Amino acid sequence: MKENSFEIKDLTKVYEVGDENVYALKNCSISVEKGEQVAVMGPSGSGKSTLLSLIGGVIKPTEGDIFFGDINIAQFDENKLAKFRRQNIGFVFQDFRLIPEMTAKQNILLPLMLDNKKADRIYFDELCKRLAISDRLHHLPSQLSGGQKQRVAIARALITNPSLILCDEPTGNLDSKSGDEVLKLLKGVCDTDKKTLIVVTHDKDLASKLDRVIEIYDGEVKQ
Ligand SMILES: Nc1ncnc2c1ncn2[C@@H]1O[C@H](COP(=O)(O)OP(=O)(O)OP(=O)(O)O)[C@@H](O)[C@H]1O
Ligand SMILES: [Mg+2]
């Protein structure tokens, strides 16, 4: 039997804005297998980023469950959630979110530093080689191209060796050539290391290369 990476059940997220309630997600249920590569697609405002933030433990649901095995992170307090997130999830964002004052290498090592951990030298070297950034490690983000910045951000997401990688429009700020290159490298790393990959994207070409597409409309998963 195949094992699940995670399973969300009847997940609802309501944002309160003044007197108004915004239903960003409504009763969503999804399960994703270990090692599966899934595209999340849907119109702007449909709830894609909200879904990723919930799966990754960045925000808590209003209702519903998020299971990783027997563990339901929907019931975690902020501290437990932050620890879970650091140890199990890698995030990649459209706008890279690198620290401008830190070199590429310092950015990559930051998640380990926050947990007082040292990098496995062999894994670090291998990761940089696979993402083709070994010769850019002493550059500041401002000295890197968009594609290089995103590859550094991917290395940072992977340095803790998480089992689940969540990417929110990772090529949204890149031209199509460097976007394609970034995706090829990201997918290659996930293929080799059998990581579960969830990518929010508007790119039909990319979606067709992944195992499955989850479509979201107006806060609901299209079944
Ligand atoms: N922090 C927030 N506070 C209040 N409302 C929010 C917040 N974040 C998102 N929303 C609302 O929730 C809904 C879903 O937003 P979300 O960012 O998840 O959409 P999305 O599918 O990622 O859109 P896009 O493709 O434009 O990135 C939208 O109506 C949005 O305005
Ligand atoms: Mg979004």
Q: Write the pLDDT tens digit of every residue in 120-169.
A: 999 999 999 999 999 999 999 999 999 999 999 999 999 999 999 999 99
Residue 54 CB-half CA count within 13 A: 33
- Quick one: CATH architecture of 4-221? 3-Layer(aba) Sandwich (3.40)
Pocket of ligand 1 (CB under 6 A): 15, 17, 22, 24, 42, 44-50
Report the separation in Å between the CA atom of 126 and the middle of ligand 2, taken as the mean of its atom positions.
31
Domain range list for the chain: 4-221
Report the separation in Å between the CA atom of 59 and the middle of ligand 2, taken as the mean of its atom positions.
14
Buried b or exposed e, range 171-188, using 16+ CB within 10 angstroms:
bebbeeebbbbbbebbbe
- Residue 25 CA: nearest ligand 1 atom is 14
> In whole angstroms, what separates CA 70 from the centre of its chain?
21
Residues 95, 52, 44, CA angle at the centre, nearest 5°? Answer: 70
pTM, full prediction: 0.95
